[in-house]
Structures are given as structure tokens and as C-alpha cells.
Chains A and B, each alone.
Chain A
Amino acid sequence: MRRDCLLCLVVVLLCIVGVAAVYSVDPLREEGLVAQSPFGRQLLWNFVGWGVFALFRFVDFQWFLKRSWIWYLISVLALGGVLLFGESDETGAKRWLFSRSVQPSELSKFALLLFLSWYLSVNRDTLGLWNLLIKSAFLVAVPAFLIFLEPDLGTALVFGVLWFGALLVGGWRAKQLGILSGILLGLLFPSWFFLRDYQRKRILAFFDPWQDPLGSGYNVVQSQIAIGAGGVFGQGWLSGKQAQLRFLPARHTDFIFASWCEQLGFIGGVILILLFGILFWIILDTAIRTRELEKKFFASLFGLMLLFQVSVNIGMNLGIAPVTGIPLPFVSYGGSSLFVYLACAGVVARIAWEAEEGEKQRWT
């Protein structure tokens, strides 16, 4: 099967899981298909998102890549705008623009992916030099810091991981990476003092959620209960007690994996993890196959971002990663995240298609 079609299929399946999972915890489900309900919106975003997917699948990637400075600047400006004019959500964090319709921090992920792959490939001759490290670190740090101020530690962390990943796949020597990791780890301890109270509590709760099961450990505990209570086959579609009786917090966003597993059990969870695994494999396979450096970078960095988000999100659902507001790609309720991932998937599909076309030409 052609790689781009396989990728398309896996992403479609993931989106279906997402829509179904959002439907299952939709508070307005009884009232049928309503545009305001999470389910209706997720469906709508999927339609729009697949348009975005098609756009990136059929329009030449280079056009976007060459203008990545512009995307980068726009995203930094938008993030600055969030801090100035943004709207807060329930947790009190300012993350939104335009009456809570756009989350610039999500969109800036895409901009950063484009920008990093363009920047590294343009500077391919100086790859592996400390000079480039400083420059790229600065360029990543600006949006990451703006996001950190929102505060949205999770997304800021994604940026950091992307930057480190860029250095990793950018071919930095192991020794250099080792020194860098040492410095970063050294910085980890003082950074504790810059965290907000709720962020610290979450990290503490991660180490022992059962200490305070009704307070800071509540969501970790409830999510594990949901998954565990699901058992092998789950409690059945639309009948997960934890999610339906609303013991599980953030059921359609951060903890959607838990409500999915509660309904469909171990089997459902494994299917979801497998889908992500296959997607990850296709993306990295594409990264290896393509011969152009910027596409290699884009695909592998996207793979890394996907891996990071999936493992942190599912990890926190399973109680083995701290609770950070990182959504589950394609599945969690939310338009911005879905658009970004579908756009990226569109790009990777195009890269895969181009690589296959290239291979065919070489063989014939």
C-alpha cells in the first residue's frame, strides 16, 4: 500500500476515534446533533481540518517552507497578543484569542516545525557548531517563553523538546548533546522556583497522587480508576461510570484516553496506542526515505512532537507522567490542535508521496 494512503487511513481512524470519544462524553448528547455541543464542533473541525490536510497534501511544501520566517513572526506576534488581549479559560490561564476560538500556542507549533526545519536545512553547513545552537535556542526560546507566561507549561515543554530534537536529528555529536543535556538537567532544579503553585502541586501529585486523592491528586486518581475499572473489554460504549457520572475531569480534552479506555477497556486502549505507533512508524519511515534535508527534518520533528505529546498525554492518563495540559493529537476535543496535526499530517503525506514518486523515477 502506498505510504501516503496508509498514513491517510491511520489519521482518518484516529479522527474517527476522536469524534466518537468526544461524542461519548458530550454533555449535550441527549439533544442530538447540536452545533454548540462538543461533538458537533469536533465534527465541524474535522471537516475543516481535512480541508487543511488536503491543502498541504496537494500544494507544494517548498512554498510554505521558504516563507517560514513569516509564519514564525506571525506566531510570535500572536503569542504576544495572547498575553496582552487574550482570554482566560477555567484554570485562569490566558491561552485564547478571538473569543476563545483560537489557541495560538497550538498553531505556533506548526510554525515552529516549519521554521526549525527550514532554519536547520539552510544552515546545513554549520550544523554541529555551538554558534547555531545559540541562535536556534534563542529563536525557539522566544515563543516558548511567551507560552510559558500564559502559563502553559506543557506546550512550552513541547517547544523545548522540538528544539532538542532538532539538535538530535540535526546530527549533533553525542558528546555535544551529552554536555547540553548535563547543562539542561542542571537548570532543571532552579526552574522549580519559577513554576507556579499549581504546577508544583501537579508535579508532587504525580509522585504520589493517592496522598491527596480529592485535591491535587484528584484527576490522576480518577483517571486511573477509569482506566482500571474498564478492565479488558470495558464497561461498554456510553456506559463508563467514571466519565458519565463526571468523576473524571477534562473528559473530552486531556483525559479523553481514560474515558475511551473505560468504555472499551484494554482492547480499545491498545488499538489506540497501536494506531499512534503505526502513524509514528510511517512518519519516521518517511523521514528516512526522503532525500531532501528540510523534509527529513520536518518529518522527524513532527514524529518527535507526536511521540512526545502522545506519550505524555497517555502517560498522564495512566498515571506515569505528570499532569500537563497536553492534548492527545487528533483525538482530544479542540480545533487548533486538530488543525495543526492535520496540517502536519498533510505535509508528511505529501513528503511520503514525493519520496515514492522519486524512488519510482530512479528505478525507471
Chain B
Amino acid sequence: MWSEELEERIRRRIVLLFWLGIALFCILFGRLWYLSILRAEWFQERSERNRVRVVFLQALRGNIYDRNGFCFAKDTPRFRLILLAGSEKEGILQRIEGVLGRKVTFSLRERGAGEMVLLEDLSLEDVVKIEENREALPGVLIETYPLRSYELGEVFAPIIGYVGRISAEELKTLGKMGYRTEDRVGKSGVEASYEGILRGGEGYRRVEVDALGRVVRVLDFRSASFTRSVQLTIDAELQKASYEALGKRNGVVIVGNPQNGEILAFVSKPSFDPNLFSRGITVQEWSRLIQGTSNPLLIRPVQALYPPGSLFKILIALAAQEEGVVAPREVFFCPGYLDYGGRRYLCWKREGHGRVSFEDAIAHSCNVAFYTMGLRLGPEKIARYAKMFGFGEDPHFDLLGTRTGLLPTPEWKRETLREIWYPGDTMNLSIGQGYLLVTPLEMYLLLCAVANRGKVYDPHVLLRVLDAGGHILQETKPYLRRTITLRPQTWDTIIRGMEKVVTRGTGFNCRGLPVRLAAKTGTAQNPQGREHSWFGCFFPSDNPRFVLLVLVEHGGDGSGEAAQVARRIIEWILRERGV
């Protein structure tokens, strides 16, 4: 029924509706307050995250110099073409070909933030062409990137190493240290060993993208920087001379200073061109590298194992002198063989050396004399002396990937071969054959120990670390690893013997040089073919400043090829560096 009361109720309802509305408006107001005043900062940050993408630019690597300032490795700027995220692809590729005026194969490599690398290592001409046609190529950007380039790569590759794109496994461990998928990382040599020093600061480019991921504009930019360089103890010219001295032969040359452990030359041949790796090695190039038996990627001075041959006789001679198993003025008789335990052990000289004194035994490398000394010493004493000189132990070299040789002992033979040690094993060991395997670096360290009369410094290639301005940040101090105390006359006798190697013995190829030279030749038997030829020496022998070790693979007699190579290197040193 229509009534006054109903009319009043309708009025009240409208008033109720009014207050309901006010309440709702208040709720909206409150919520707006909450979002845009109380939580504003949080939402602003969310909004930033929506629209800002960061593209990281590769860090620059520091340069690597030799001790005289020659630059082995540096980053050179290269240009590459990238397509920004969200750009239309097909048409652009055609237009780029149109602009360059030729067919090109695009790499189309995806990388972070949706960007795509189209072309790498652009020539300057192409860069100019593309820059001139910027308008026609939206979303295309030219970016500079560092390319590692190596001077005389083949000569220095074993020591300098190379860089390559970080692998998935490396990323797992290095990811925590800020490495990213596109980064370069040192893979071997100094590049890998001093990665932490060489890696510079990375740059970035912050871009604003829209909801579809298209780049609207570049917000800011920081170019990559390099922070530190390293200077090596290597003498680039000496290394080059050594490399050339090897000629066509494969082998190893190590030259160093025994008085502080600095390595001056570190040649491993055959070698490879590290530049291949820095621009991305192709499958063909890679298969060419790993095909065949010569294995250029093997860093021979520290990774390859050889029998030391007669070079090991230095150690036997030292032990025999020091232990007094050789009487003063004792004379050995060499008929060309030694019969022991019903077997005949041959000297390298079939007709025999006849009567030889201790020093002559070294000079002529008489096997029979060393069989005798080895038998008198016994395997335990030989092993003790070998350990004393660092055989079978970490050489503390500052390059990664250094191996240690195999020093056989009766215990070792029992455990691994399950056989007892025969006197024949001792005799083989005494002339550096049999189970014994060494790296060239170990032999080099033996020579250093003799040259420096028992003081052995850690071999190293890092001379100093420089900052971006070339100021010295840090210098490597020689570290005295071990002092081998033997009687002075032991040292004297051995060094005299080694001098006689040159003047009267197997080192005849180095005779007549204007310096006092102490040397030892070696011939390492090799089941795969011709013997390896060893030659180790130091000079001047009264105050040695150079230790030189040469190994020529399949070079035959130690007195032959290795000695000739050594002679060329010594002559170069005397001529160019002086003593």
C-alpha cells in the first residue's frame, strides 16, 4: 500500500545508499593511499624490473708482456653486428645483405636478454656501410668486442696458452665469481693460470624494453675495462731463437736462471696458433689439431713424460760421491758390458770404454761404471736422492696442468706391478731407463740444483703484475724451495765431470765455445721409434746464470741433434745477452 510510511522508508533507503557509497569511496581512497604512497617504492622497483634489461659486455683481459716489454697477447677491438631483442628478423637480414652488397652467412647466435649476434669480426668497410644506413636497419646495433690476439702465437702458445668461450662445466664453478655464458676464460698456460689477474671489469648496457620485449632505447652504458697486465720472466727473443734452433724437429727447450727460478724460454714443439681459439675454432681446424700423433696441444715441458736416459746419471753420480760408494781415484773397467745375475748388461759403446775414472765415466757416459755405482747404492738410496732432488714431486711451477714423472722404487713395483724389484731394475734405473719417467721440467730442476749447488728455487714465469697504467703492483720474489746439502767436493767433482763432457766427452758438439760449460747428454730409448735426444747444461759453470735443457724427439744420440740445437742457443745467448 502506498503510504507516507513507505515514502519515508524510500527516503531512508536512499540515504542508506548514500552512506554505502561514501564508505565504498573511502575504501578506494584508502587502497589508493596504500598503493601509491605506502608501497610506492616497492612498486617503482617492480616497474623498473619490468622495463629494464641489462646486457653485459665482455670484460677486457690484461696484456701479457715478456721481460723486455714485448707484448705476447692483447685484446684488440673488433666489431660485431647484433640484433636487439624483439626486432623483426627475416626482413632485416635481407636488408643487411643489401647494404653490404653481398651474400653473408649469419651466425644467429642467441645470447642474454634476447639479443642475437648476426655477424662477428666485421671489417671497417662494413661497419661504415652499416652506420651509413642506420635508418634502414632498425634494431641493428654495432658493438665493439675484444678479440684476443697473439703475436707469434705458435712460438709462445705453450707458455701463454689461449682463451675460449667459457664452457658449461666451467660456468658451474666460475659462475659464482661473476662469469657469464658469453665470457672468455683462459684455457691453458698463463691465460688460465693467471685468469684471476688478467680478467678485467665487465661493462654493461641497460636498455628499456616494452611489454613485447622490444628495445625502446638504451638507458646507459659502461664500457668494459681492463685492470691488470702481467709481465713474464720469458725472454721473447730468446724463446724465438730457441724455437728456431729446433728447426724442423719436435722437442722441448727450457732456459732459465738457476739463481732465482726465472724461466727465460719455454719451447714446446709442435705448437698451435692460439688465435684460432680466440675467434672460435672451426671443426676442421680442431680436427686438424688433434689428428696425428704429434699432439700440438700437449705442453711437452711439463705434461709429456720421457725416460731421462743418461741425463739421470748426474743424480747417480751425486749419490755415489756423497754416499762414498766410489773410492777416491777409483777406476772402473768397461769391456762394453757388465754381467750380473746371469744376464749381460750392455754399455752404449759396444767396444767398451776400457779404464775410466769417475769423472771420465760422467764425461763418456759409461753405462758399466753407472751400473756398478747403482748396484752399490741400491734402489732405496737412489730413490732417496731422487726425492731429495724433487723427482716424482710437485715441481711448484706456476703454470697449471703440470704433471709429475714416475720414480720407481721397490715399494712402488710391489704395489702396482706386484713383482719384486730385481737388481736389473736398479741397473736400468742407474742409466735412466726402465720404469723411470720424467717431465723435461724435472730434469731442468735437477740441472738447476747442480748449477746452484743445492739451492733450488721454484720455477716461475710470472715476473710482475702491472696495473692499467703500467705501474708495478706486485713482483714475484724468488722462493727457495729446497736446499740440498751435500759435501762441497761432491758438487765440485760432478761439475768437473760435466765440464769434461764438453771438453772430452759426449758433448763434443758444444766444444770450443767461449764460456765454461757444464753439460750432460742423454739418449732416451723409445719403443715407438728413434731415440729421444737430451742435452742439459749450465754456464758459466763457475757461476751459472743460465741452465739450458734441450730435448729433441726422435733426435737419436744425445751427443748429436740435441747438442747441436743447444749449441745454436748458447751461441745466441752469448752473442745477444752476454754472460
Contacts and interface: CB of A to CB of B under 8 A. Distances in A.
Contacts of B13: 168-169, 171, 300
Contacts of B50: 222, 225, 241-242, 245, 247
Contact of B6 (A127, A246, A266, A276): A127
B37 A266 contact: yes
A351 to B, nearest CB: 13
B17 interface: yes
A124 interface: yes
16 contacts: A127-B6, A128-B6, A225-B47, A226-B47, A228-B35, A228-B46, A231-B40, A246-B210, A247-B51, A265-B36, A269-B36, A277-B22, A284-B17, A311-B25, A315-B31, A319-B31
A171 B10 contact: yes
B21 interface: yes
Interface residues of B, number: 41
Interface string A295-338: 01000100110010001001100111000000000000000000
Contacts, number: 138
A125 B36 contact: no
A155 to B, nearest CB: 19
A138 interface: no
B32 A318 contact: yes
Nearest to A128: B6
A229 B25 contact: no
Contacts of A293: 10
B18 A281 contact: yes
Nearest to B15: A288
Contact of A303 (B17, B40, B43): B17
A169 B20 CA distance: 13
Residue from the set A128, A225, A242, A293 with the largest chain B CB neighbour count within 10 Å: A225
Nearest to A266: B36
Interface of A: 124-125, 127-128, 165, 168-171, 222, 224-232, 241-242, 245-247, 261, 265-266, 269-270, 273, 276-277, 280-281, 284, 287-288, 293, 296, 300, 303-304, 307, 311, 314-315, 318-320
B422 interface: no
A225 B49 CA distance: 11
Contacts of B10: 169-171, 293, 296
B327 interface: no
B128 interface: no
Nearest to B6: A171
Contacts of A287: 14
A177 to B, nearest CB: 10
A270 B40 contact: no
Interface of B: 1-2, 6, 9-11, 13-18, 20-22, 24-25, 27-29, 31-33, 35-37, 39-40, 42-44, 46-47, 50-51, 208-212, 216
B216 A229 contact: no
Closest 10 CB pairs of A and B: A228-B43, A229-B47, A245-B210, A246-B211, A231-B40, A266-B36, A318-B31, A311-B24, A171-B9, A247-B211
A283 to B, nearest CB: 9
A104 B256 CA distance: 94
B208 A245 contact: yes
Given A128-B6, A228-B39, 6 more contacts: A227-B35, A229-B43, A241-B50, A273-B28, A300-B17, A307-B21
Contacts of A261: 32, 36
A308 B208 CA distance: 38
Nearest to A314: B28
Contact of A246 (B1, B14, B27, B212): B212
A127 B18 CA distance: 22
B21 to A, nearest CB: 5
Contacts of A224: 35, 43
A151 to B, nearest CB: 26
Contacts of B211: 245-247
Contacts of A230: 36, 40
Given A229-B44, A231-B44, A307-B24, A169 B35 contact: no
B573 to A, nearest CB: 68
Residue from the set A228, A270, A277 with the largest chain B CB neighbour count within 10 Å: A228
Contact of B14 (A225, A273, A296): A296
Contact of B25 (A265, A266, A277): A277
A197 B40 CA distance: 33
B47 to A, nearest CB: 4
Contacts of A127: 2, 6
Contacts of A225: 43, 46-47, 50
Contacts of A246: 210-212
A232 B36 contact: yes
A225 B42 CA distance: 9
B44 A273 contact: no
A320 B31 contact: yes
Contacts of A226: 47
B84 to A, nearest CB: 15
A263 B6 CA distance: 48
